[in-house]
Amino acid sequence: MPELARPQSKLLIVGAGIGGLSAAIALGRAHQNVTIIEQSAQLGEVGAGVQLGPNVNHVLKHWGVDKALEALAFEPEAVEVHHALSGKQLARLPLAESFRRRYGAPYLTAHRADLHAALLAAVRAGGCADIRLNQRLQSIQLESFKALQEEGIKASGTLTVSTESTIDSKTTANTQTSETQVLDQQSCEHYSALVGADGVWSKVRDLIFSGQQSALKAQVNTKAGINSVVFSGDLAYRSLVLQKMLPAHLRLKTVKVWLGPDMHLVQYPVRGGEWLNSVLFLSPRLNGMANKSLSMDVLSALDWTINMSQEDKAANIQSILPSTCSKVQDTVRAIEAWSVWPLMKSNPLTHSSQMVRGSIALLGDAAHPMLPYLAQGAGMAIEDAFELGELFNNANYNSSKQHGLVESIETTLQRYATNRWKRCASVQSRALQNAHIFHASGALAWARDRSLELLGDKILDMPWLYGYQRTQSC
């Protein structure tokens, strides 16, 4: 009996960020019919820099995105860790050729917008997805097989997705106006499956794990509830400056990390080395948030960036200067403009059902929000997407010989979650641990520094993370 091929599935991806575009590439390569909805009027990526380890660059090479990205990115010579108070170098890990030899792929630093642009170009070049802007997810309903048969839809279970237009139909994505008119223009479509790649404020996660969709929850496996996303209390001050505008002694060709009590500063070149990305992380005791709380509604409404006054920004940044070394002080004073971001976190995943419910899957920050203290948020989203695409590709050609049936989409999605949740949980856990280690004082800081001095390259080099090569088995 010949193997059965599953018919092409109609899949919906919610969110056109790095995770959503990566999913579109992976599923498009698996010959799926993919639609992306994005509530914004324009495609783009907010933020500044992103670090991409060999684990991520193996995937980008497999997709053919590596050449376009490397032309825009930067390959740092090393990671250098310093004590923020004394200025002493604690550890150095060579990257560049050393990492290429060890892991078969480079360690790159890039502007998030450049990574997004490279992924978008690949989506368009490959015809991977139909991208619909100004579309906001409203509701998800799981239709029964019998009801769908009556409508002439051949599927074992289909999602009916309701969306709402967020802009006047006469206004195009290229319109320069700053106003967005929300209109009551709703539409419903049927999809075989849905992928929520809509970030830390995920609407998909909210719909399938909250009480808003109790009927949907009752029809799918609910072994474990979703972890709450909360404000960590830490703030990230981000900046991007031309290196030629900085004094020569502040220009970098490496990833530079400065560790101090309740703070750390991370810097690295992007865009071919012409620009320097700097991120100053401050704990609540330094950033003025120790006795304040921001509700989730307020944080979500701000859409990442906090509207903090220039005076408050300056006061918070100046609070670290008296105790830090001259290099850190010179760096902070040389940068005039900072944007402030709240850092969100959740507990590590504990079960695969926190990533998948029936024919609905979560990906990237929608599935496993994490602190940026391991520099793997974008990396885990890209790895998620690759796994999802490969499993859909395999399911197209592998049938159950015992029953002569093609693997269901629900089974494919469950395989995805089973294969991914433990690794993502490990990265979440390590990032949470680093929050305490990076900002330590007293005995813990002393132990951290001595460990880095004695075993720096072994601590900084993480084969379990960078050596992950799922592409080799495909």
3-state secondary structure of 371: coil
Could you say which DSSP state residue 358 is in? T
State the residue for tokens 């919610």.
Answer: 14
What are the φ/ψ torsions at residue 73 (nearest 5 degrees)?
-95, -170
Judged on CB neighbours under 10 Å (0-12, 13-18, 19+), 69 is buried
Element (H, E) at 385: helix 377-395
Do 198 and 137 touch, CB atoms closer than 8 A?
yes
d(CA 198, CA 366): 6
Do 25 and 122 touch, CB atoms closer than 8 A?
yes
Range in 56-60, 99-103, 273-277, 470-474 with the lowest mean pLDDT? 470-474
Q: In this predicted model, what pLDDT tens digit does every residue of 349-359 receive, in sequence order?
A: 999 999 999 89
CB-CB neighbours of 211 under 10 Å: 6
Span 271-286, average pLDDT = 92
User: Percent of the chain, pLDDT > 70?
Assistant: 78
d(CA 277, CA 242): 9
Which of 61, 111, 355 shows the shortest CA–CA distance to 241? Answer: 111
Do 460 and 93 touch, CB atoms closer than 8 A?
yes
> How does residue 369 score in pLDDT terms, banded at 50, 70 and 90?
very high
All domains in the chain, ordered by first residue:
10-229+346-473 (3.50.50.60)
Whether the per-residue pLDDT at 8 is higher than 80: the answer is no
- Cα–Cα distance list, 287 to 87, 232, 313, 340, 360 (Å): 22, 12, 9, 10, 38
Whether the per-residue pLDDT at 274 is higher than 80: the answer is yes
> How does residue 107 score in pLDDT terms, banded at 50, 70 and 90?
very high
- b/e map of 255-291 (b: 16 or more CB within 10 Å)? bbbbbbbbbbbbbbbbbebebbbbbbbbbbebbbbee
d(CA 363, CA 45): 17
3-state secondary structure of 388: helix
Whether the per-residue pLDDT at 6 is higher than 60: the answer is no
pLDDT score recorded for residue 189: 84
Mean pLDDT of the chain: 83
3-state secondary structure of 450: helix
What are the φ/ψ torsions at residue 38 (nearest 5 degrees)?
-135, 130
> How does residue 303 score in pLDDT terms, banded at 50, 70 and 90?
low
Q: Which two tokens stand for residue 249?
A: 């002694």
Whether the per-residue pLDDT at 271 is higher than 80: the answer is yes
d(CA 88, CA 462): 23
pTM of the model: 0.86
Q: Which two tokens stand for residue 313?
A: 């920004």
Span 384-411, average pLDDT = 74
Sequence-separated contacts (24+) of 310-316 with Cβ below 8 Å: 312/288, 313/237, 313/338, 313/340, 315/288, 316/235, 316/237, 316/282, 316/286, 316/287, 316/288
Q: In this predicted model, what pLDDT tens digit does every residue of 131-165 receive, in sequence order?
A: 999 888 888 887 543 343 344 333 345 677 777 77
Note the helical H segments in 246-295: 284-287
Range in 289-303, 330-344, 441-455 with the lowest mean pLDDT? 289-303
User: Percent of the chain, pLDDT > 90?
Assistant: 60
pLDDT score recorded for residue 146: 38
Q: C-alpha angle with apex 373: 112 to 71, nearest 5 degrees?
A: 30
pLDDT score recorded for residue 76: 98
Q: Which two tokens stand for residue 218?
A: 């009752």
State the residue for tokens 């070049």.
Answer: 125
pLDDT score recorded for residue 157: 53
Q: In this predicted model, what pLDDT tens digit does every residue of 18-72 receive, in sequence order?
A: 999 999 999 999 999 999 999 888 887 766 899 999 999 999 999 999 999 988 9
pLDDT score recorded for residue 139: 81
Range in 7-21, 85-99, 101-115, 417-431 with the lowest mean pLDDT? 7-21
Range in 54-68, 284-298, 418-432 with the lowest mean pLDDT? 284-298
Query: In sequence order, what E strands does 297-450 have?
Result: 339-345, 356-357, 360-362, 399-400, 405-406
Whether the per-residue pLDDT at 297 is higher than 60: the answer is no
